[in-house]
Each structure stands twice: as C-alpha cells, then as structure tokens.
Structure 1
Amino acid sequence: MKLSQPSTLMAAALLGSLGAVSSGVAATNAVIAEECCQVIELRQYVTYPGKRDALISLFETRFIDTQEEAGIRVLAQFRDLNDPYHFTWLRGFGNMEARKQALADFYSGQTWQTYRNDANATLYDNDDVLLLRPASPGSGFVTATRTRAAVGNTAPRGGLVVATIYHFPQEVTADFISKFNHQLMPMFERHGAHVMGRFVTEKSPNTFERLPVRENVNVFVWFASYSDKAAYDHYLASLAQDALWRDRAFADLYKSLQRWPEILMLEPTSRSLLP
C-alpha cells in the first residue's frame, strides 16, 4: 500500500563493515556504530514490472543526500537477485526520537514533495519494514572507511550481501544472541562469511505512524558480505561439510525458529555504502 504523504521511499540504512582489525580499532568502530545508528530500518519494496531501475535511479539522485541532510543515515540500497521486482534498502537513526524528527523533516521537505508521486508510481507495495536495533554492543554496521559514489555514478558497486532473517515465536533471548556471537558466527566466518552486523527487533512503538512497520514480530537478522555469488556458493558448500553444523547446530537452530528463515540475496546499487 502506497502512502499519499511520506511514502516509504527514503534511503537505506546503516553502517557496515567489519574486518580483521585490532581489538582497539574494533572497539572504536563499535562505539561509532552505536553512536550513529541504534535504530535501523530494513525496507523491502515491491515495484511494478520494469520499474525497479527507475526507482533506483530516482532514489540515488534525489533521496540519498537529502535524507542525510535531514539526519537520516542512508546505508545501503540493493537489487534482490531472487526477485526482479524487489528493491531493498537500509537506513539508520541515533534513537527513536531522532528517527521521528528526521522523518518528519524529510517528508515535509521540498524534495519529497516534488518527487513523491514519481516514486509512488514505481511501487506496488512498500509496507514490508522491519524496525531493528543492534543485537549486542558492537554488533551494528560500521561505515567509517566507506565512501559513497557521487551522484550520477552508475558503475556497479560490486560484492554480494546476504541478509538472513530468523523468526522466533517469542522475543529473541540473550542466550541466543550469545550463542550466535560465540558459536554460530565464528563457524560461519570460518567458512567464508564476512559478518557485517547482527540485529534484533526494536520493540519501541513506531514514533512515525505514517510509515508502517511490521509489528508483533521477533526477528534476529544478520548480514554477511561475499565477493560474489560464487564465493557465497563456496561458503555454503564448505559449511555443509562442517560436522558441527551438519550434525547438531543446524537442527538445533532451525527447530527453535517459528518458520523457515528469510534469506535475501542482495546486489548493492552504485551509491550503496555496503558492503
């Protein structure tokens, strides 16, 4: 459902990058991430056939820099490789109150008023939005070393981001977060995943009601980057040979979930900050 006033079109969401760095640098990056984006929106849009690239072009020329001027951290925009009609993006905020103010400023601003009809004309549905927060200290995105391409740049960004969404029947527990951080994530990274961020549902009431979010959900979302699809396939093949994953961890994890995970195969657009 499209919105007649501020539509869900803003731009992308958070920070992101990890790396094999010293603990001191990692700690500094964690602080940066927490200060910048304690609230994340994961936004999945369905476009009309043939309209996705038109939306991306409009988004990257009109809605990234203007959102950032309003205090919104636009982090990433993606084409979903599994669905030609899906456009996915991420954006971040310092906290819920900052989100309310920034969204009000952007959606009442001249740029959105001028181009919102053009944006809405590309959209079949834009209500699939998860409101998230970092799962634990230091688990948010870090973009301190990332540079956004200039307006008008259409060169491929490169890389692949895979977002995995685990749905739980109850709120995600501290025990599961600890298990992921100390058992599952090291195993995934050992086989080639580059984990960029881990998030859980932000349970605060939606402070900007004109833009709906998915309520009554309990999710754990983790993002990982790969050099390309072949690298991701190699990761899956390698992980499948891991006895711990194959014989115990896989079943333990999937039995705890409310339903099968959502796995988003995401190709960054030209002006995305991620991966």
Structure 2
Amino acid sequence: MDLPPNTGPDLPASPVVELRQYTLKSGQRDTLIDLFDSKFIEGQEDAGMTVIGQFRDLDRPDMFVWLRGFDDMDSRKDALAAFYGGPIWAAHRDAANATMIDSDDVLLLKPAWPGAGFELSGLRRAGLATDEKPSKNRPLPGIVVIQIHHLRRDAETGFARRYQAEMAPLMAATGASLLAAFVTEHAENSFPRLPVRVNENVFIGVLGFDGAETHVRHEAALAGSAAWQFFWQAARPDLTKPTETLRLSPTARSLVGR
C-alpha cells in the first residue's frame, strides 16, 4: 500500500530553480535513484525547497538529472543549510556520494517571463511503497526534453521574448507541452558550499511529451516548418555554442513528467 503523497495542491512556481546534472559511477544510477526517491525528497521539502523533478537521461546511462526550486535566493541559502546540515543528509550522504563522479554541473535559473515557471498546482507525487524500492517500478511512458540554448549575455531578453511569441505556439502545435522556460539567474551563489556554473548565459525550454515517438514526430514537424527555420536563422548570431538536448525519463516519484 502506498503512503500518502506529501505534495499539496498549492505549490507555487519557484522563482529560483537549479538544474542539476550528476555524472555517476557505472551502474550506480538506480542505486542513487532508490536513495533519492526514498530518503531525500521529503527531507528537502521539509527544509523549505521544492523537488520539482528527477530523471534518468535516456541517452547517457550514467547521468542523473534533477530540478529543485526555491522562493528566492535568501530562502535558498536557508533551505540548503538546513538540509545539508541536518540529520537526513548526515545519515545518507556517504551512500549518495559513493555513487557519484561529479555533482557540480549546476545551472542557477529564473523564469524567462512572468508565468514561465513550472505549474505545480494540483500535482501529486506518488507515495512510497512499503514493500519495494522506487526503481523497481517500470519506467513511465512520458518523457521530458530539456533544451539548453547558450547565448550572448545581452541576448537573453530578446531571445526569450521571441521564443514566447513565436516558438511556444509552434511547440504546442507540433505535440509538445511547454512545461517551463528559464534564463540564467545571475545573482551571486547564496550557498557557495554547492558550486554552480558561473559566467553562463542560457535560455532553457522544458518540454513534455506523451512518449519518445511523439518527440520524434515533433522534431520532424519542426524540421519541415518554415517558421522554425526562420526563428533559428534569426537567432543564430546570438548563440555561442550548439544547443544541448536532454531526453529524460521521470523516476517513479518525480513530480513533473508523470
């Protein structure tokens, strides 16, 4: 029998979000996911943050990707200090760290425009089964795709404005749900014990799909779209390196992507 989920109906869209990509030791991803889903979600949320989503990277078998949110930078400092100085992390940190090669690939983000954060109201997190570990559940059919666009520092406002006006409707018309959009939060890291990537300037789109086949059809439709080609032709001078695309499968207890 599942325990009652802890996520209520009124979670706000977090004004500050971390996108975290962990490189793990070979074969250790499910070990970390078991630990994360069973031990770390409620502990972090009790400390004052929101665990938005956690995922298996479909193209990189040793990558664990997750997102968490905060009310503001001061709240981030307090929440992280409470969790990483608290008993849950102390009890399980050695087991978690033993799975990892690198946990410092972190982007600090804010919504790209008003209302562009995750809409979490009404979502319910799956409860923990008492007789099995979370990773024993079959992978969920939906996927989340995160696109990381690297921009010149002075280009993010214009890029976000055009993306909202031109690309968001096109995404919806070709089978994607735009779950959120972010740009870099340039405020100083309020918890330097956990590094973030500095000197970054990104626009990030988070897209939801019913499954991998829907994503393939979406990509094919965009490739044949004159509007899509026009957008990227105009945006090319603002891009500093190729776009990163993460294809992700949510874990059993991910709030987003289920």
TM-score by length of 1: 0.85
**Does the 8 A contact of 1:78 with 1:88 survive in 2?**
yes
Q: Deviations over 1:131-190 (max 9, x none)?
A: 000011100001112110112344333310000000012144322211110011111221
- After TM superposition, the structure 1 = structure 2 runs for residues 39-118 of structure 1, keeping only pairs within 5 Å, are 39-118=16-95
Segment of structure 1 superposing worse, 128-137 or 173-182 = 173-182
**Does the 8 A contact of 1:254 with 1:260 survive in 2?**
no
Q: Deviations over 1:112-140 (max 9, x none)?
A: 00110000000000000000000111000
Q: Does 1:208 align with 2:202?
A: no
Alpha-carbon distance between aligned partners in 2 of 1:242 and 1:227, rounded to the nearest angstrom: 21
Look up the equivalent residue of 2:33 and give its one-letter code.
Answer: I
**Does the 8 A contact of 1:141 with 1:197 survive in 2?**
yes
Alpha-carbon distance between aligned partners in 1 of 2:73 and 2:32, rounded to the nearest angstrom: 27
Q: Which residue does the alignment assign to 1:256? A: 238
Q: Does 1:194 align with 2:171?
A: no
Q: Which residue does the alignment assign to 1:242? A: 225
Alpha-carbon distance between aligned partners in 2 of 1:232 and 1:71, rounded to the nearest angstrom: 34
**Does the 8 A contact of 2:53 with 2:67 survive in 1?**
yes
Alpha-carbon distance between aligned partners in 2 of 1:195 and 1:151, rounded to the nearest angstrom: 28
Using the TM superposition, give the Cα deviation of residue 193 of structure 1 relative to its aligned residue in structure 2, in angstroms.
Answer: 1.3
**Does the 8 A contact of 2:57 with 2:246 survive in 1?**
yes
Q: Which residue does the alignment assign to 2:256? A: 274
Q: Which residue does the alignment assign to 1:129? A: 106
Alpha-carbon distance between aligned partners in 2 of 1:167 and 1:174, rounded to the nearest angstrom: 13
Alpha-carbon distance between aligned partners in 1 of 2:78 and 2:155, rounded to the nearest angstrom: 28
**Does the 8 A contact of 1:172 with 1:200 survive in 2?**
no
SS at match of 1:173: helix
Look up the equivalent residue of 1:265 and give its one-letter code.
Answer: R
Alpha-carbon distance between aligned partners in 1 of 2:76 and 2:28, rounded to the nearest angstrom: 28
SS at match of 1:213: coil
SS at match of 2:254: coil
Alpha-carbon distance between aligned partners in 1 of 2:227 and 2:163, rounded to the nearest angstrom: 14
Q: Aligned pair count?
A: 244
Runs of 4+ in structure 1 off by over 3 angstroms are none
Q: Supply the RMSD in Å over aligned alpha carbons.
A: 1.7
Alpha-carbon distance between aligned partners in 1 of 2:233 and 2:13, rounded to the nearest angstrom: 36
Look up the equivalent residue of 1:76 and give its one-letter code.
Answer: G
TM-score by length of 2: 0.90
SS at match of 1:125: strand
Look up the equivalent residue of 1:259 and give its one-letter code.
Answer: K
SS at match of 1:262: strand
Q: Which residue does the alignment assign to 1:165? A: 148
Identity, in percent, stands at 41
Using the TM superposition, give the Cα deviation of residue 249 of structure 1 relative to its aligned residue in structure 2, in angstroms.
Answer: 2.0
SS at match of 1:267: strand
Using the TM superposition, give the Cα deviation of residue 36 of structure 1 relative to its aligned residue in structure 2, in angstroms.
Answer: 4.5
Using the TM superposition, give the Cα deviation of residue 255 of structure 1 relative to its aligned residue in structure 2, in angstroms.
Answer: 3.5
Alpha-carbon distance between aligned partners in 1 of 2:85 and 2:226, rounded to the nearest angstrom: 55
The structure-2 alpha-carbon separation of the partners of 1:242 and 1:43, relative to structure 1 and needing over 3 Å to count, comes to: same
**Does the 8 A contact of 1:157 with 1:272 survive in 2?**
no
Using the TM superposition, give the Cα deviation of residue 43 of structure 1 relative to its aligned residue in structure 2, in angstroms.
Answer: 0.1
> Which runs of no fewer than 5 residues in structure 2 stay unpaired?
1-6
Using the TM superposition, give the Cα deviation of residue 57 of structure 1 relative to its aligned residue in structure 2, in angstroms.
Answer: 0.4
The structure-2 alpha-carbon separation of the partners of 1:36 and 1:162, relative to structure 1 and needing over 3 Å to count, comes to: closer
Alpha-carbon distance between aligned partners in 1 of 2:154 and 2:39, rounded to the nearest angstrom: 37
